[in-house]
Amino acid sequence: MEALHLTAKDFQPVPASERNADKINRPLSTFLKDAVGRFCKNKLGVIGMIIIAVMVLLAVFGPMVSPYDYDYQNLAEMNQGPSLAHPMGTDAFGRDLMVRIFHGARISLIVGLISAAVSFLIGVTYGMICGYFGGWVDTVMMRILEIIDSVPQTLYVILLMVVFGRSMTNVYLVIGLTGWLGTARTVRGEVLSLRSREYILAAKVSNVPTPRLMIRHLVTNAIAPILVSLTLAVPSAIFMEAYLQFLGLGVVSQPSWGALASDGLNFIRTIPHLLLFPSFFICITILAFNFVGDALRDALDPKM
Amino acid sequence: MEQLLEVKNLVTTFKTKHGTVKAVNDVSFSLVPGEICAIVGESGSGKSVTSMSILRLIAQNGTIAGGEILFEGEDLLKKTEKQMRAIRGKDISMIFQDPMSCLNPVFTIGYQLEEVLKLHNKSMKKAERRARIVEMLRLVGMSNAEERLKQYPHELSGGMRQRIMIAMSLLLNPKLLIADEPTTALDVTIQAQIMDLITDLSKRLNTAVILITHDLGVVAGAAQKVIVMYAGEIVESAPVRELYYHPKHPYTLGLLKALPRLDMEQYSLQPMPGSTPDLLLEHEECPFFERCEQAMECCRKKPPFFQIAENHIARCWRYHPDFLAYQNQTEQEENSHA
Amino acid sequence: MHEQEKEILLSVRGLKKYFSLGHKKVLKAVDDVSIDIYKGETLGLVGESGCGKTTFGRTLMRLYEPTDGQILFRDTDIAHLNRKQLAPFRKDMHMIFQDPYSSLDPKMTVSEIIMEGMESDPTLPKKDRAARSLELLEIVGLNSDHANRFPHEFSGSQRQRIGIARSLAANPKFIVCDEPISALDVSIQAQVVNLLKELQERMGLTYLFIAHDLSMVQYISDRVGVMYLGRLVELATSDELYHRPLHPYTQALMAAIPIPDPDVETAKSRIPLEGEIPSPVNIPKGCAFCTRCPYATDQCRQERPSLQEVEPGHFAACHLIHQ
């Protein structure tokens, strides 16, 4: 170091314009981009996503492409095993099982999505009000929630279905109306921790109306757990619908996966594929949604 | 005097998902017994990591990538984990910013203090341990020590907890105490009490102290030697009066000018522009280059240390002999022109 | 501050804010504080943690409902107005927060954050708001390229400057600065404080500057109030307070503040305050400071001293001074 010689040239001042003390070095990255990146690294999540995409495609195009109709009965081809003409075999009325499963996918997925959306709306609103207002509002609303929660969901669903009567709309509504408790709890917890943030105070000082404040600051910042609980609500709704069908409380005219499995149960000893194929689809779809839910949680909330 | 601790060219790195961060870069300093040495720096300057490296207590994703840490002549980096455990607490102990996080909330103060003695000194009898603990608590200025032993951490105030931590860290008569921001979480009036306690005990027990802080005010009254760190490097090191009255590095100068002074009237603060550099990026230039008002062309290269006086070094090209000569020359030229 | 024409902007009378903790416990965070804030001045408010200074600021902003007392602003008592009645006053007052990390919504861009500050002024046309947010960014020393970035890309002082830009968005007259520098590094605190000073001169703002760092408060403020356990114990101009602190607590606080000068610091004879700050749930009877005061008498333990003008402009709440 001692040998180092410096000359007058080295001592010329560098003007402040060449030095940028306030520059931002970090690469521009948005929360969304980061989250998508993290999600794509999760193998199970990606597999789940692919399975869900395939299911949706099958549900939309399957029945169109298939040469059979879901309620076309061909008594000559009763109770067949898998073959080229009927890859999943036929049922007791000679109906092609594959097209029935594809059609069932439509019903099951729609039930899942709509019920999840209904419970999402109720749950987010309920949890938001509890968490934001706190105090006695929170105490009363949480006690109500706990009372509802103390009776099993299945019991409500059965009761409501008996009262409202069996129809597809009622299935969506009933599952949605009973499935929001978990979402409400998650949202409340999240909002409780968010509401003391100073940006909420800043919004209040700026006279931002409360509903707008809730949507702008609370929903957007609690979006991670909300999305996760939404993803996890879909499979539980699918399962609940299948369960209803299995109990015989579903809508008979529609071959949802639950109905197919329920029918298949009668022939479990003779033609087991009638039970196996629908159950397989139920399983794999629920699994896929759960994978996606887990991957979303990891991607959106790197702390956990 | 014989050195108690000698840190030589210490480098500590952390792996993060954005890349490797050199949190401590080529840090060297030494300490004699009974000396209070302050390491001053802002958040991210590497002052805490330096102290944690001495105890080899850095986080999972960190490694001590180079250097030596000689404690009483022996390199701590070559010790096994078991040997280190015997050293921690007994020869070198530490107090932290937040005493609550170091005390276990489910055990009484007395139990936790006794545990320390039991671990390091198995032959000690129960009565002896009690006596030692009560003596220590008296020393840190806790009234009715016997009663305190039965209390739980949450029953005590922040200042009291910090006193307990100091008592605990001094129970085994360590030769070196590392105090990492010991008063940052406390109120000013309590801060004064705790700082007085630390300096007083250091004198009485001849314990060397490494005081890590961001507060130049606290340092002024306590330390004998001050090391200023910036962006993982030491930028200046000097005895305390030398540093405050003849600061050399532009960062130290700027820091002192940006501090409000209660004892002065009608002055204006001169803010330092910008903010601390991003350690993720490899810097070729002097780390203070971007913010330095005296930056020169040669500052695009990292400067070495220059000796300014005995025990006073600064890492800035302005103290290169050639620059001093150049400065003299230009001054003379200006004078002759005038 | 010119002595002749002191116009009162905001007048606080007997403000109380109690929080109920259940089990009949009451936290008296702000207990009977009266203070006038003059137009164009910076009023500093210091005290240790738990002394109620932040609660005081937030209650002034009506983020909390006051338990009792008056806040007179523009000849109206705003202390008990409801949301709707309060709306026209919102645009005249804003706030700068302590933590630059939690005071900016991480999901909003810088210009969205600043534009939110304009919502208290409905007269400001929506189409002009984006342009105004860029203008404000320049005013606080950032540039307009920063407008579409998110808060996490900025350093602490830059974030605090964004917070300042937001507080200026609706052209307020009065700003509560709630520990605006205590979360920042030492080398950049002066940046923010000097910016605040500059903005005050330029826009004629009035500040309530809340901090625990007395030396910074002393530097920026015209007058300084000292709080202890929810009460205002002393109020004076900042020079007067430093040279002649009257209340024993102020004296101890002054002595405890470390000065970055080894000679001053070693020569200083400290009167160390004994004991700890009592819990604000359990404030001592009489003078709140009597448990730690070296001069406390029986009177101090029985009777609460009121804030009295000892000299013109210098107020203190202590029995010993009044005698």
Instruction: State the DSSP H helix or E strand holding residue C308, giving kind and residue range, or none if neither.
Output: strand C308-311
Residue A202: CB atoms within 10 Å? 26
Per-residue pLDDT band for B213 (boundaries 50, 70, 90) equals very high
Q: Could C106 and A22 be called an inter-chain contact, meaning their C-beta atoms sit closer than 8 Å? A: no
Nearest to C252 among B189, B240, B265 (CB): B189
> What's the confidence (pLDDT) of residue A97?
77
Per-residue pLDDT band for C272 (boundaries 50, 70, 90) equals low
> What's the confidence (pLDDT) of residue C2?
47
| Cα–Cα distance measured from residue C160 to residue C104, given in angstroms and rounded to the nearest whole number | 9
Select from A199, A300, A301 the residue whose CB has the most chain C CBs within 10 Å, as the one to mutate to test that interface: A199
Q: For residue A26, which residues of chain C lie inside 8 Å, CB to CB?
A: 153
> What's the confidence (pLDDT) of residue C69?
93
Nearest to C95 among A24, A26, A205 (CB): A205
Q: B interface toward A at CB cutoff 8 Å?
A: 273-275, 277-278, 280-281, 289-300, 304, 317, 320, 322-323, 326
Q: Could B326 and A25 be called an inter-chain contact, meaning their C-beta atoms sit closer than 8 Å? A: no
Q: What is the pLDDT of residues B42-52, one digit of tens each?
A: 888 889 899 99
More confident position, B174 or C269: B174
Residue A129: CB atoms within 10 Å? 18
Residue C234 has pLDDT above 90, yes or no: yes
Per-residue pLDDT band for C1 (boundaries 50, 70, 90) equals very low
Among B136-150, C45-59, C70-84, the minimum mean pLDDT is found in B136-150
Residue B168 has pLDDT above 50, yes or no: yes
Contact between A255 and A104 under an 8 Å Cβ cutoff? The reply is: yes
Mean pLDDT of C184-202: 89
B321 to each of B210, B327, C48, C140, how far by Cα in Å? Answer: 32, 10, 49, 41
Among A293-302, B10-19, C164-173, C280-289, the minimum mean pLDDT is found in A293-302
| Cα–Cα distance measured from residue C224 to residue C232, given in angstroms and rounded to the nearest whole number | 10
> What's the confidence (pLDDT) of residue A304?
40
- Residue C21 forms contact with A (CB below 8 Å): no
A43 to each of A13, A51, A284, A292, B308, how far by Cα in Å? Answer: 54, 12, 16, 10, 59
> What's the confidence (pLDDT) of residue C42?
94
Q: Which amino acid is at C267?
A: A
> What's the confidence (pLDDT) of residue A1?
45
> What's the confidence (pLDDT) of residue B253?
92
Nearest to B260 among C49, C216, C264 (CB): C216
Contact between C276 and C226 under an 8 Å Cβ cutoff? The reply is: no
Q: What is the pLDDT of residues C65-106, one digit of tens each?
A: 999 999 998 888 998 888 888 888 998 999 999 888 889 998
Q: For residue A28, which residues of chain C lie inside 8 Å, CB to CB?
A: 149, 153
Instruction: Tell me the average confidence (pLDDT) per consecutive run of 10 residues in chain A, 304 residues long.
Output: 66 74 58 78 89 88 75 70 71 76 84 89 92 89 91 82 80 84 90 89 90 88 84 85 78 76 77 81 88 84 54
Domains observed in chain B: 5-231 (3.40.50.300), 243-337 (no CATH)
- The pTM of the full predicted model, rounded to 2 decimals, is 0.84
Closest CA to B226 of B249, B250, B210: B210
Per-residue pLDDT band for B315 (boundaries 50, 70, 90) equals very high
Inter-chain Cβ pairs, chain A and chain B, closer than 8 A: 54
Closest CA to C150 of C219, C222, C101: C101
> What's the confidence (pLDDT) of residue A2?
47
> What's the confidence (pLDDT) of residue B69?
93
| Cα–Cα distance measured from residue A245 to residue A256, given in angstroms and rounded to the nearest whole number | 8
Q: What is the pLDDT of residues B57-94, one digit of tens each?
A: 888 888 998 899 999 988 999 999 999 988 888 899 99
The overall average pLDDT reported for chain B is: 87
Q: Could A25 and B323 be called an inter-chain contact, meaning their C-beta atoms sit closer than 8 Å? A: no
ipTM: 0.87
More confident position, B243 or A74: B243
CATH, range C8-92+173-247: 3.40.50.300
> How far B151 CA lies from chain C's nearest CA (Å)?
17
Residue B252 has pLDDT above 90, yes or no: yes
Mean pLDDT of B14-34: 88
Q: Could B262 and C215 be called an inter-chain contact, meaning their C-beta atoms sit closer than 8 Å? A: yes
DSSP A303: T
Residues with Cβ within 8 Å of C53's Cβ and at least 6 positions away in sequence, in order, are C45, C46, C47, C210, C212, C227
Contact between B48 and B220 under an 8 Å Cβ cutoff? The reply is: no
Nearest to A199 among C98, C103, C119 (CB): C103
| Cα–Cα distance measured from residue C177 to residue B256, given in angstroms and rounded to the nearest whole number | 24
